[in-house]
Amino acid sequence: MSWVLVLKVDAPTREAWWQTELARRVPDIEVRIWPDTGPLDAVDGALVWYPPPGDLARYPNLQAIFSIGAGVDHIINDPDLPALPLTRMVDTNLTERMREYVVLHVLRYHRRQPDYDALQQARRWEELDQPHASGRRVGILGLGELGTSSANALALLGFDVAGWSRRPKSLDGVATFHGADGLVPFLSRTEILVCLLPLTAATSGLIDAAFLARLPAGAALINAARGDHVVDPDLLAALDRGHITGATLDVFSEEPLPADHAYWRHPKVTVTPHISAITDPVSSADQVAENIHRLRAGEPLINLVDLNQGY
């Protein structure tokens, strides 16, 4: 008997790609593309990105839910979510892509590329002061798989790197802070802040006016986690008064970002369309297939989410 998986991805162009990669690893799998799920009672698993609220509760024999992304807020926010094993994506390819994105935009602010772009528009030939990497304090907010990889890469480039996490962690070459008591000293020493936190009830709206005010004047923000971490009016106000010198935003409370949103036209904001770490089916299908094999063998799943913590 085939193993039936419902697939709901973020881009329809990836549907056939996922089908091909999963079939190579699980020969007897039947992948049904949402919303054409067929008989609901035949569905064994769901591989999803932003399923509609209540949708996952429709499958009476569902055994597990797999998130296509590293985050699971798009699933656990469902008030009707069934009490089933939920896994998140932990993939080397995804981690590498996020690391590239973070390093790229940290270097942009460190080497003052936005300032040089403005000088080019003004046709001004001017050399700006440039500190060494060792004199630039970068802070990684969130030291999970993605944050740890990015922090290590920046430390290897010679930056003065710190990281903040909810619980104590230790990384070679990275100053670490944790908990509520560690957040203020972490922020006060951070000139370029990178947000890679999971979105939970505790982190939603975290980056507000009071939070931004604790960063040094002229700090920059890079958010590649979730849009709901940021209170948009507060960030725009901090940019307008010059306390925050620039923001690179890959994620937004509403996606796609509405055409009339102020971020599009703000001279200090760089917008990218949630592309910092796209899940690649070629590498990520290995994890999904492994968990399907484990389910069928009655073994514990890998990368299981703690629903109480939200990640």
Which among 239, 93, 217, 222 is positioned nearest to 151, based on CA atoms?
Answer: 222
Catalytic residue among 226, 261, 265, 266: 226
* Residue 134 Rama label (left phi>0; alpha psi -120 to 50; beta): alpha
Catalytic residue among 166, 274, 293, 294: 274
Supply the DSSP string of 163-231, one letter for each residue: EEESS---BTTBEEEEHHHHHHHHHHT-SEEEE-PPP-TTTTT-BSHHHHHTSPTTEEEEE-S-GGGB-
Q: Note if 108 is an active site residue.
A: no
Q: How far apart are CA 276 and CA 99, in angstroms?
A: 9
Lookup: tokens for 73: 């807020």
3-state secondary structure 73-140: HHHHCCCCCCCCCEECCCCHHHHHHHHHHHHHHHHHHHCCHHHHHHHHHCCCCCCCCCCCHHHCEEEE
Q: How far apart are CA 131 and CA 46, in angstroms?
A: 49
Q: Note if 274 is an active site residue.
A: yes
Neighbouring-strand partners of residue 139: 162, 193
Helices 92-110, 281-297: axis angle to 10 degrees equals 140
Contact predicate 223/212, CB 8 Å: no
Annotated catalytic residues are 226, 274
